[in-house]
Amino acid sequence: MNDWRLLITRPEPMASQWQHWLRGQGYSADVICAMVIEPVSLDDEVQAVKSIILDIDQYQKALFVSRNAAHYASEWLDDYWPQWPVGLECFAVGRGTAEALANVDIPVSALGGDASSMNSEHLLAEPALQNVAGEKVVIFRGRGGRELMTETLRARGALVRHCELYHRTLATSSAQALRQWLEMALPEDLITVHSGESLKNVYQLAQHEGVAERLLRLPVLVPGERVARQAQELGFTQVLQARNAGNVAMLEQIQAYRQTLV
């Protein structure tokens, strides 16, 4: 299967990082980003972030939803807090987010779940997030993120604020490259997505270029049951489901899929 190809659709710099990691595992993959991640830049957005960062020591818990949240938050925190405030518990969604925080010396109390289950639902099941009535909680995230954590913690009595550090946009500049890739794709070529939003963006780009049917005929690898359902609802007929969006879990499914091609 020398002609078999993988397609990475996650945003940069994660796309190139994962591509490099896959090469180390003996795989090659093309990168066509379906999403662009950019830090907030409007004056009101920047001031909203700054006001939370300046008062971060007034919070009891801080939740980071992604590597991007960890990255952009650490840049802000480094400017105003050379040391992590005493008494502020830090939580991360997923091992990758926890590692990003550890790399900048932010201590993580819990990341939720184990190697097979790392998502918001599992983080919310952590014992330390059960009795939070009256506590101030800040969620570091992108603009317009999932509301599950906010709604759940508020239902438990927490006072929750969002620190929205970045926004995600459709990578319209990738549309032509995606069309060309799909026009050359073999039936066994595998598309990988790391989130529901990336999945939606890939489909939207293909639709715009008139190649959505080609896209839906190809197998797609997604992280977890929620994104798998979204893929099926869009019309994908071959949906491979990894345990989570981590490198190891995604690679396991790539390896299993490759065995079916032998």
Please tell me the number of Cα atoms within 13 Å of 177 on its side-chain side. Answer: 13
C-alpha torsion 101→103→107→113, nearest 10? 60
Of the pLDDT bands very low, low, confident and very high (cuts 50, 70, 90), residue 37 is very high
How far is Cα 8 from Cα 61, in angstroms, rounded to an integer?
Answer: 34
Tell which wins on pLDDT, 13 or 49: 49
Predicted confidence (pLDDT) at residue 2 exceeds the cutoff of 60: no
Residue 245 is predicted with a pLDDT of 86
Report helix angle 196-208 to 224-234, nearest 10: 20
Please tell me the number of Cα atoms within 13 Å of 245 on its side-chain side. Answer: 26
Residue among 73, 33, 69, 44 nearest 169 (CA): 33
How far is Cα 26 from Cα 50, in angstroms, rounded to an integer?
Answer: 44
Residue 4 is predicted with a pLDDT of 85
- Which residue segments constitute the domains of the chain, with CATH numbers given? 6-34+171-261 (3.40.50.10090), 41-168 (3.40.50.10090)
Look up tokens 């990738």; give the residue: 174
pLDDT one-digit tens code per residue, 117-144:
467 888 898 899 999 999 999 999 998 8
Predicted confidence (pLDDT) at residue 110 exceeds the cutoff of 80: no
Query: Which range has the worst mean pLDDT, 79-83, 95-99, 249-253?
Result: 95-99
Average pLDDT over residues 35-41: 94
